[in-house]
Homo-oligomer: A and B are copies of this chain.
Amino acid sequence: MTELLSWAEGPTKSAIVDFVDRVTTDGPDFVAPEARVAVFDNDGTLWCEKPAYIQLDFLVRRLAEQAAADPALAATQPYQAAAAGDLAWFGDAVTKHYNGDDSALKILAGGILSAYAGMSVEDHADQIKAFFAKAQHPTLGRPYTACSYLPMVELLRYLETNGFTNYIVSGGGRDFMRPVTASMYGVPPERVIGSSVGLEFADGHLRTTAQPEFLDDGPVKPVRIWGRTGRRPIFAAGNSNGDIEMMEYTTAGRWPSMALLIHHDDTDREFAYTAGAERVMQRAAENSWMVASMRADWSRVFDA
């Protein structure tokens, strides 16, 4: 699968192919293979993020488990909402935050941060694998592991075939993504950059703490890209305001570069929304970043 078969013929596909041709062909725009670094946001760029982040589904199930195991906990939030399947409570916490009231968000963050506290990183990974082994997307009628966008998986392969090294750079959990990125995207764990809680080392093992470490979003994305790779990417793909700085960083270097914005405008096959992407859409227009319309540029959205 090294062809962009699920990309419709048109200016977006041509721009990608032209860019890759330029940097891989001897001449003034040639970029050495070791400098061909590509970075991809995950939620909404490589896999579906609606109606809710996949990781939120995972966490709500965990909170419900914790509530079932501890009646005292079950009487408090966010465990009560999780046990009752009251997903609106979680959405309201975010809405209240945007309206200036952080009270529910703080309660939610405390629950999320402590959800795996004390568990070894290996056991945590096993829980994530068990989740992905059976969890289904609530409306698309497919497992979450089949919710990656086929054109983007083809793009990952296409870049790789052309000597690029792909990294995932997501606001989602680093250790949440790692157990599935190799099979879903061909991206191994050492090339997954994401948010994380702190870890602590004792008795030969690493365990999850309840302390936040990184929130890998916005200006933190370029900082973590450099921290992890020591390189400035030449290709970046994203879909939301949190990807602006990563795309700026990628396109401000001395080499040829490309930024690609995924626009969710396909109600029939996926979802249509611009909430959370208002500023990046504007920046794309100002900076001539390429915009991929899911509706127009993708002949297929998901694999069979």
A: residues with CB less than 8 A from B are: 34, 121, 174-175, 178, 188-190, 192, 196, 198-206, 213, 219, 222-223, 226-231, 245, 248-249, 251-252
- In the complex, besides A204-B248, A205-B252, A228-B228, 14 extra interface pairs with C-beta distance below 8 angstroms are A34-B188, A174-B227, A174-B230, A175-B230, A196-B227, A198-B223, A199-B223, A200-B219, A200-B223, A201-B222, A201-B249, A204-B251, A206-B223, A206-B226
Q: Which residues of B contact A248 (CB under 8 A)?
A: 204
Q: Which residues of B contact A213 (CB under 8 A)?
A: 227
Contact status of A192 and B230, CB under 8 A, knowing A201-B219, A201-B222? yes
Most buried by B among A121, A178, A204, A227: A227
A226 to B174, CA, bound (A): 11
A189 touches B219 (CB 8 A): no
Q: A62 → chain B, closest Cβ, in Å?
A: 20
A192 to B228, CA, bound (A): 8
Q: Which residues of B contact A252 (CB under 8 A)?
A: 203-205
A205 to B190, CA, bound (A): 24
Q: A22 → chain B, closest Cβ, in Å?
A: 21
Q: Which residues of B contact A192 (CB under 8 A)?
A: 230
Nearest 6 A/B pairs, CB to CB:
A204-B252, A189-B230, A201-B219, A190-B229, A201-B222, A178-B230
Q: Which residues of B contact A227 (CB under 8 A)?
A: 174, 196, 199, 213
Q: Which residues of B contact A205 (CB under 8 A)?
A: 249, 252
Q: A156 → chain B, closest Cβ, in Å?
A: 17
A56 to B231, CA, bound (A): 25
Q: Which residues of B contact A203 (CB under 8 A)?
A: 252
Q: A32 → chain B, closest Cβ, in Å?
A: 12
Q: Which residues of B contact A189 (CB under 8 A)?
A: 229-231
A188 to B37, CA, bound (A): 13
Q: A252 → chain B, closest Cβ, in Å?
A: 3
A206 touches B231 (CB 8 A): no
Nearest B residue to A225, CB-CB: B206
Nearest B residue to A223, CB-CB: B199
Contact status of A231 and B190, CB under 8 A, knowing A206-B249, A252-B205? yes
